[in-house]
Chain A
Amino acid sequence: MTVNPDPSGNGTAAPDPGGRPPRRRFKVSLTVGISIAIASIMLFIALFGPLIAPFSEDEMLPVGSFAPISMEHWLGTDYIGRDVFSRILYGARVTLGLSFLATVLAFSVGTFFGLLAATSRSLVDSVISRFYDIVLSIPSIMLALVAIAALGTSAPVLIVTIGLIYSSNAFRISRSLAMDIKVMDFVEAARARGEGRLWIIVREILPNAVVPLSSELGLRLAFSILAISGLSFLGLGVQPPTAGWGVMVRENMTGMMFGSSAALAPAFAIALLTISINLIVDDMSSRYGRDISEALG
């Protein structure tokens, strides 16, 4: 009897058994490149903004309110004469920080329940799913308004409210991903060797769900920025005198009539950041979406 006539099991000569396939080079388009640059700058500002800001957040300057753009005040001053550029630098930390924490909360909660539902008996799954259906059926801004109106506004309330509302999206995505993955033979193989549920969720399912989930995470970050800015604009989010981008738009609205850029600048910052994040996420998901479908056959 001939044993292993062809050790490569390939029928043809295997290409260098120890060799790895060449790594694909990471190439991005110009648009995505610019988006990455903008997002990086915003991140830098959020981390170090107060250190590089020419003026402090709440210093009322002698040039007066709604001063035009000048060499000294790059974006002019606001309705009580504070430097808009400095306030945008300060506001980045507040806006991005709150949104980031809310998104992380949304994902932790949503993914936890999503994976739990997907791997549970149908009753548990139904209860969790129906609960999230109810959350999803109420417009998210309405829900947030009611919650904040009832609880009063503060940073933790904002984070928890937005986080819990957006966890419904993370829940839906992680549940449907896990539903697809759990019927794969490698999960069956894990069950067949007696693995517990925790192992199956963490080691078998999660690694295959991470990439699609992370692109959803980016997208949800953009939504959180919009939601928190929106709530601040409505007066229920970040409270003055703290600089937040949303609240800055609200404060300086009257300046629009005098041709002041004080309201436009933070609005532009919000738009720039969310669009950049969207473009990066789009590119990422098309790039890795392909990898995933290849890997899962």
Chain B
Amino acid sequence: MSELLRVSNLRVDAVSEQGRVPIVKDVSFSVNKGEVVALIGESGSGKTTIALATLGYARSGCRISGGEIDLDGVDVLSLNRKSLRRLRGRRISYLAQSASAAFNPALSIGEQVTEAAILHGVLSSADARRRAVELYKRLDLPGAERLGNRFPHQVSGGQLQRLMAARAMCSDPELLLLDEPTTALDVTTQIDVLAAFNDLIREQGTAAIYVTHDLALVAQIADRVVVLSNGEIRETGTVDQILNSPTDDYTKKLMAAIPQPPTRNSALPQTVTTTGANVEEPLMAVRGINAGYGRDSHGNPAVMVLHDVSADVAAGSVVGVIGESGCGKSTLARVIAGLLPAHNGRILLAGDPLPYRVEDRDRKAIKAIQIAFQMADVALNPRHRIREILGRPVTLFLKLQGEERDRRILELLDMVGLPRSMINRYPGELSGGQKQRVNLARCLAAEPRLLLCDEVTSSLDTIVADSVIELLKHLGGKLALSYIFISHDLSRIATLADHVVVLYAGHVVETGATRDILAPPFHPYTNLLLSSIPELRRGWLDDVMKTRAARAEPTGFPGDSAAGCPFYNRCPLAIKDVCNTQPVPIREPVGGHRIACHREVQDLSAF
């Protein structure tokens, strides 16, 4: 195979008032024609910077200070502005992480997809439109013929991501740069997009550089892998080499931090006697909660987000709440914390009903329930020192002052594994993982009984997220804490939770002990979630897509599912005129394991 791109001794510096800091150090690798090379590393490892450098581009504040980039005989770094223009979007295309930010909302999709090809004179505008339609079809986009006339806000996030691929491929580039193209998507959407990308790249024989932090994705799409850390190459090899026999310590660490995909228990679980546990009053119980945002003319929420949601948290247990973005997971946490008043339903703390609004709750109830927010960056007041961030709840809930208060703050820092010297720092001086630890410490300062963790690991790198999970496990045991752990990542939940609540469009579709959830019978949505988690082996994507293709297509016929099942439109098992019209019955295959589905338990088990 002939070489398309050769990067040798690439150096990129960050230039600031203090001087230059190298962020990419002597990186060399090559990409052959038709080959997909993955750049993998944590945030700050320089992977995006390297990908952009192949365009002869450095972000503001950065400078390419050395090395050579050779694209099929062309020395990219020596090109002038005009020649670079001819190169970018023509021979090399870039596919950004966030499609919604990369599309201009004021122009039609068609204009933007064909723009580069027409501008570079590769295709006439009629040909470009034809090619675009062809690409839409290959990417399984619905309504391909008329899609070009629509605007970016009229299609879904997953579709927009695929459209970005169409835009990048329209001018038939030799090299495609994909920068975390599926990171912002839900697992269930990610897999479709990934499969579409994969097919398209293979079909067109385009070489690609795939930038990601997710090894499991790399295993599906790449031929070779370059492992990066702190701007240096740690290891280069074929996918099989890296997956099966990594030699570098960092690669090994990276592999170890990947949460194992939950193993499905294939056998039906034996009925467990849970009588002892059932007698006890749950620490937290929500019963028939409806909640939403806005207010219509009748005083009801204008947009209802949670529909009749019920869940229990036994003392000392971990309940995982899972679902895709927009399903109401965070809303549930906000309702329990009282930040968003429920519309109706009951919230019971150890059997006592709580007022809906946190302002109406007494200090004891507030102390018992603490919430940790997803984005530690905005959860900590940037103008307060750590001393004040942690000290305030200590004063407020434990009534400690002066030296006692300081001692408690230091204990909290110890507890979450932060150095004591952090006490006088501002949040802006901390790393993402450290901020998340402060965020947790602030919750722990109240000595709560229930901690609501709202996606606390999703903005963190794998290795850091892993250490935060370990911390949560450790604290849960030590402080007899209960958790509601909200995540879109089923593999994280599977390792941490005792019970799982699966939310879909604000409805609880399945709930039960974790091992019951991971074993058949599945709710069709749970099954979709489980089968969408990338596995760390080659060929997983092909297998899944094959299984799915063999199955009946999701019905997809439009119908008013208000009365029926919310998952109706996407469900491969949907029964027409039943699922979309009749209230969903609850199936209970095992005590405590409930599935909201029209299908019988046998059907769900066989599925």
- Interface flags for A220-238 (1: CB within 8 Å of B; 0: not) read 0000000000000000000
- Contact (Cβ within 8 A) B381 A9: no
From B417, which residue of chain A is reached at the shortest CB distance?
A4
- Contact (Cβ within 8 A) A11 B339: no
Nearest CB in chain B: distance from A6 CB, A = 5
| Separation of A185 and B455 alpha carbons in the complex (Å) | 13
| Separation of A16 and B433 alpha carbons in the complex (Å) | 16
Instruction: Name which of A34-42, A164-172, A186-194 contacts chain B.
Output: A186-194
From A7, which residue of chain B is reached at the shortest CB distance?
B417
Contact of A192 (CB < 8 Å), options: B230, B339, B429, B464: B339
Instruction: Name which of A21-29, A52-60, A79-87, A123-131 contacts chain B.
Output: A21-29
| Separation of A195 and B338 alpha carbons in the complex (Å) | 13
User: Is B421 on the interface with A (CB-CB < 8 A)?
Assistant: yes
- Contact (Cβ within 8 A) B378 A185: yes
- Interface flags for A152-179 (1: CB within 8 Å of B; 0: not) read 0000000000000000000000000000
User: Is B474 on the interface with A (CB-CB < 8 A)?
Assistant: yes
- Contact (Cβ within 8 A) A17 B422: yes
Nearest CB in chain B: distance from A194 CB, A = 4
Q: A8-B434, A17-B419, A193-B396 given as contacts; is B428 within 8 A of A3 (CB)?
A: no
On chain B, the number of residues with a Cβ less than 8 Å from chain A's Cβ atoms is 54
Q: Identify the interface centre among A4, A191, A208: most chain B CB within 10 Å of its CB.
A: A4
Which residues of chain A are near B74, meaning CB under 8 Å?
none
From A5, which residue of chain B is reached at the shortest CB distance?
B467
Instruction: Name which of A102-110, A255-263, A279-287, A289-297 contacts chain B.
Output: A289-297
| Separation of A297 and B430 alpha carbons in the complex (Å) | 13
Contact of B366 (CB < 8 Å), options: A2, A193, A207, A297: A193
Which residues of chain B are near A185, meaning CB under 8 Å?
373-375, 378-379
Which residues of chain B are near A184, meaning CB under 8 Å?
378
Nearest CB in chain B: distance from A14 CB, A = 7
Contact of B429 (CB < 8 Å), options: A20, A188, A191: A20
Query: In the complex, which residues 421-458 of chain B have their Cβ closer than 8 Å to any Cβ of chain A?
Result: 421-422, 425, 428-429, 431, 433-434, 436-437, 442, 446
From A184, which residue of chain B is reached at the shortest CB distance?
B378
User: Is B470 on the interface with A (CB-CB < 8 A)?
Assistant: yes
- Contact (Cβ within 8 A) B42 A11: yes
From A14, which residue of chain B is reached at the shortest CB distance?
B431
From A20, which residue of chain B is reached at the shortest CB distance?
B429
| Separation of A34 and B428 alpha carbons in the complex (Å) | 33
Query: In the complex, which residues 393-410 of chain B have their Cβ closer than 8 Å to any Cβ of chain A?
Result: 393, 396-397
- Contact (Cβ within 8 A) A10 B431: yes
User: Is B358 on the interface with A (CB-CB < 8 A)?
Assistant: yes
- Contact (Cβ within 8 A) B371 A192: yes
- Contact (Cβ within 8 A) B381 A207: yes
- Contact (Cβ within 8 A) A295 B428: yes
Which residues of chain A are near B358, meaning CB under 8 Å?
191-192, 194
Which residues of chain A are near B337, meaning CB under 8 Å?
192
From B254, which residue of chain A is reached at the shortest CB distance?
A11
| Separation of A186 and B393 alpha carbons in the complex (Å) | 13
User: Is B88 on the interface with A (CB-CB < 8 A)?
Assistant: no
Contact of A186 (CB < 8 Å), options: B17, B379, B421: B379
- Contact (Cβ within 8 A) B339 A9: no
| Separation of A4 and B418 alpha carbons in the complex (Å) | 9
- Contact (Cβ within 8 A) B437 A9: yes
Nearest CB in chain A: distance from B327 CB, A = 20
Which residues of chain A are near B338, meaning CB under 8 Å?
192
User: Is B473 on the interface with A (CB-CB < 8 A)?
Assistant: yes
Which residues of chain B are near A24, meaning CB under 8 Å?
17
| Separation of A9 and B358 alpha carbons in the complex (Å) | 32
Can you give 5 contacting A-B residue pairs, CB < 8 Å? A5-B467, A185-B379, A193-B396, A207-B384, A295-B428
A-B residue pairs, 3 tightest by C-beta: A9-B433, A4-B417, A295-B382
Q: Given contacts A9-B437, A14-B419, list 16 more A-B pairs with CB under 8 A.
A: A3-B471, A4-B417, A5-B470, A11-B467, A12-B229, A17-B421, A17-B422, A18-B421, A20-B429, A185-B379, A186-B381, A191-B339, A193-B397, A194-B358, A294-B428, A297-B377
